[in-house]
Amino acid sequence: MLTNIKINEDRLWNSLNEMALIGATDKGGVNRQALTDLDKESRDLFIKWCKEENLTITIDQMGNIFARREGKNNNLPPIMSGSHLDTQPTGGRYDGALGVLSALEVVRTLNEFNYSTEAPIEIVMWTNEEGCRFPPAMTGSAVFSGLHDLSSALAIQDQEGVKLGSELERIKYNGSVACKSRPIAGFIEIHIEQGPILEMENKNIGVVTGAQAQKWYEVNITGMEAHAGPTPMEIRKDALVASSEVVLLVNSIGNNFQPGGCATCGVLEIVNPSRNVIPGNCFLTIDFRHPDDDKLKKMDEILRKTIKLIEKDKKVKIEIKQILELKSNSFNKSIINTIKDVTHKLKFTNKEIISGAGHDAVNINSIAPTAMIFIPCIDGISHNEIEDIHKEDAIRGAEVLLHSVVELANNSSKIINN
């Protein structure tokens, strides 16, 4: 490891702060949704900083931005690092931006120390990671990885019916380079943890070994609307009461699949609610996650079996539709080991961790050796304006990223695909 090279702590921190001004909210967060004028402003600033480092900028058809620093051997596929600059409407300052600007800090440091790596290095900013304006999430990296086709991605509409593709054109980030996979020696994304584990266990660095399997469902519950006064309890077909049973069932499935299981009903709606009508129709969503595909399958089986009992018991009809399935992801062992090794050499504490959230890295993992670095975030909070981190944690993360990227770029032929 290059012991004489260190990142510039204030430069990283100041860039994070400067980026956070674009779309800054009163409560200290950021609202910089994909392909808005503010998104354009953040892209322009990122590109300006990259040009100051003499990087070659490429923009693809999805508006993904690549900034390349040549190596000694430019026939080698690059080591790539980055994340996203879009945020949730009530987003924080570091979710995404940390990954893009830490990768920039790596390049700035290498330029400052005039250090050449063997393989080239590319910083990447993926379009529409959050998916709040244009669902689903992680579209830019999904099209790049061949997991989502370009034309349907460009046709995604926001709530006003505006297309993703026309917004890309409007902000002039509809690049001409084909958005498709190409050889990448390795991809590392650094991100805030978005959960409380590192902070609770007092660890500096999360070495992310993979991502959870997920199943998402939409559930429609149909009972019968009836007057709240004259309808005796025993003949009611109360969709809300049945929904409540489903919510409790989902929660108990989560509790029964520890460690690792997560089970959430995030939306519950009564159709045409009225205070003196027994609810006849309800809609709810279920989000199941587990690091183990087989355990997730069991959670699914229990859900479906028990819902049948609720249906019978509450005299309602319950339709359950699975709308998303993601297999669990294992990141690349060579890259995981490099990150761990660097963390030890820098004398930082670390913990292996599985990502509970989706990330661009999970998409890229399907086409290139990939891993992630997490740093703690205060109280585990993200997707919230009060999301915050400690400066020292950002610095440690960027140091680990720097040395991992250099190590991988100098030994890219040793990265074993698993």
Nearer to Zn ion, 98 or 153 (CB): 98
Tell me the angle at which helices 97-112 and 9-20 cross, rounded to the nearest 10 degrees. Answer: 140
Beta-strand (E) ranges in 46-198?
56-59, 65-69, 79-84, 121-126, 186-192
Contact 187, 366 (CB under 8 A): no
Pick from 23, 91, 96, 120 the residue near Zn ion by CB under 5 A: 96
Least Cα distance to 121 among 73, 85, 83, 86 occurs for: 73
For the chain, helix, strand, coil in percent to 5 are: 35, 25, 40
Question: Which residues within the stretch 117-146 sit at the binding site for Zn ion (CB under 5 A)?
Answer: none
Pairwise CA distance, residues 79 & 183, whole Å: 10
The single residue listed with the structure tokens 């539709």 is 321
**Would you state the structure tokens that stand for residue 241, as one six-digit string?**
């009461």
Contact 396, 218 (CB under 8 A): no
Nearer to Zn ion, 96 or 131 (CB): 96
CB of 392 to Zn ion, least distance (A): 21
* Residue 400 identity (one-letter amino acid): V
Question: Which residues within the stretch 211-240 sit at the binding site for Zn ion (CB under 5 A)?
Answer: none
CB of 197 to Zn ion, least distance (A): 17
Nearer to Zn ion, 63 or 223 (CB): 63
Task: Identify the DSSP state of 147.
Answer: S
29 binds Zn ion (CB under 5 A): no
CB of 265 to Zn ion, least distance (A): 23
* Binding segment toward Zn ion, per CB under 5 A, in 28-36, 91-99, 251-259, 332-340: 91-99
Nearer to Zn ion, 118 or 129 (CB): 129
CB of 382 to Zn ion, least distance (A): 8
95 binds Zn ion (CB under 5 A): yes
CB of 96 to Zn ion, least distance (A): 4
Kind and range of the H or E run holding 371: strand 370-375
Pairwise CA distance, residues 45 & 154, whole Å: 24
CB of 248 to Zn ion, least distance (A): 31
**β-strands 350-355, 186-192 pairing:** unpaired
- In DSSP notation, 300-368 reads HHHHHHHHHHHHHHHT-EEEEEEEEEE--EE--HHHHHHHHHHHHHTT--EEEEEESS--HHHHHTTTS
* Binding segment toward Zn ion, per CB under 5 A, in 70-78, 92-100, 256-264, 398-406: 92-100
* Binding segment toward Zn ion, per CB under 5 A, in 95-103, 234-242, 383-391, 396-404: 95-103
Nearer to Zn ion, 78 or 99 (CB): 99
Nearer to Zn ion, 96 or 175 (CB): 96
Nearer to Zn ion, 66 or 126 (CB): 126
CB of 73 to Zn ion, least distance (A): 32
* Binding segment toward Zn ion, per CB under 5 A, in 5-13, 96-104, 182-190, 343-351: 96-104
* Binding segment toward Zn ion, per CB under 5 A, in 94-102, 171-179, 257-265, 321-329: 94-102
- Per CB under 5 A, residues contacting Zn ion are 95-96
